[in-house]
Structure 1
Amino acid sequence: MSPVDFDSAWCATDLGAYRPCRYTYEHYPYESLPPLDSTEFTGTFQRLGGTGETVPELVMALSRLAENLAAKGVTLPRDFVTFQADSKLHYSLDEVSVTGCWTDISEPLPSPVEPGAFLVRFLRDQQDCVIWYLYLRPSGEAFVVHSCLDYAYEYEARRDGEETETDLDDPEEQRAAIFWCAPSFEEFACRFWIENRLWHALNGNDLSGLEPQVRDYLRHYAPPGMPA
């Protein structure tokens, strides 16, 4: 069976007048985003200030998750493990999030559209408007997707015989509910971190503390005459 192709979109909030947002979140075409230099993504998270010390309790939890996934024929990407076990990085997306997103790592969840593939939830909006997952394939491919559905809840509800508003057995409905948004976890984390820092700077009307690369990101959206 061929791998499923997902529609792509970046789910995020506004960047002030540079990129408006009608609601709390908007789906922005992925191709409209500022490009990031893929050569920077070496698993060291330099854009986020680099790594700190590993936390034994986090390492143990990730090891259990990795063993569970290995038994199912898929693996956690190394950049995800580095980030989630690190004292400096583990909560860095929570701390910068302007919409109250928080880290919440799930157990493996079967892909509702692709036998043998699995989802691992790692970040969710405080009101579950959007939830981000690793998408893991037996081939070793790993990328980031988002959905408005909490698949941990959906599978639990089905086990308990409860009705929900979605049909897990309808592959077309489920494919339409999942959006590809980053080719790797590190690239997702970097873009999320940049955009939320930009939001804080724009709303504080002070861009002076931003690195040149972050200001370049904003410049991508600036029409002629608008400073960035």
Structure 2
Amino acid sequence: MRAQDAPFRPYWWATSLDEAGVDSRSGDGTYNRYPFEDLPETPYPMDGDFAWLARQPAQEEWAIRQDVREPLAALTSVCEREGVPLPEPFARFMGSPDLQDRIRSTTACYLDLDAGTVPVPGGGRLIRFLADQQGCLFWYLFVTEDGADHAVVCTPEYLDSEEATEVEGGEAICFCAESFEAFLCRYWLENEIWFATEDGTPMPEVGPAYIERYRALAG
């Protein structure tokens, strides 16, 4: 889904990258909201197979992996009843602990998969899948009503299918990625850049080019 086609304002919620030399990514809080249009493109083809992620090392610490087998099974059944198919890359990742082990979070985010969907006024569904450890932010899959397209959105609001019959207001919801795989790729890369600059872990091969492109785009 393109940002201009989404019913939400486009922004990228993330941690700062000023220590990596991206001056436009400074900030005082744990998370800050940055212009979506300044983001570099993802450095790998987004084919839905996560081949780029499978080549990355598994992480022993800070990985986002959680046992989501039960909520995934329940969610799949709910989506089948509602006629809203889950995007294949989303289902593939949620069903693969091996892939989950390869993404880590500097802020101890973890997979927090909802077992159902929350309707969005005007059409579409939200499915929570990632949560900040302190409850500062939550990330959701947004699926169109016919299931033909999807995106990832982010908001400080906690939305759960057992508590909300539909999204109320929604002004705080931000479009943050064109697809689930694109979100994971950028999320993985920016977290690895942070670990490399702050903790001295190996910089991803595509990290320096991403940083330079970010500097150029953000001006």
Shorter-chain TM band = 0.7 to 0.9
Q: Distance in 1 between matches of 2:211 and 2:94?
A: 28
**What is the TM-score with the length of structure 2 in the denominator?**
0.79
Is 2:159 the partner of 1:151? yes
Equivalence for 2:211: 218
- Displacement of 1:110: 2.2
Instruction: Map 1:110-121 onto structure 2 (within 5 A).
Output: 110-115=118-123, 117-121=124-128
Residue type matched to 2:46 in 1? F
Higher RCO (CA < 8 A, seq sep 6+): 2
Residue type matched to 1:130 in 2? L
Is 2:26 the partner of 1:31? no
1:127-148 deviation digits (Å, cap 9, x = unpaired): 1111000011122211100111
Q: Which is greater in Rg?
A: 1
| Counterparts in 2 of 1:60 and 1:109: CA distance versus 1, 3 Å | closer
Name stretches of at least 5 consecutive residues in structure 2 with no aligned partner. Answer: 57-66
Equivalence for 1:163: none
Three-state SS of the structure 1 residue aligned to 2:106 is: coil
- Is contact 1:44-1:50 (8 Å) kept? no
Instruction: Map 1:39-50 onto structure 2 (within 5 A).
Output: 40-50=45-55
Q: Distance in 1 between matches of 2:80 and 2:196?
A: 42
Q: Distance in 2 between matches of 1:105 and 1:128?
A: 14
**What is the TM-score with the length of structure 1 in the denominator?**
0.76
1:24-81 deviation digits (Å, cap 9, x = unpaired): 101111111111257x111221222259xxxxx8566534311211211211111011
- Is contact 2:152-2:183 (8 Å) kept? yes
Name stretches of at least 5 consecutive residues in structure 1 with no aligned partner. Answer: 52-56, 160-166, 224-228
Residue type matched to 1:5 in 2? P
- Is contact 1:108-1:118 (8 Å) kept? no
Equivalence for 2:61: none
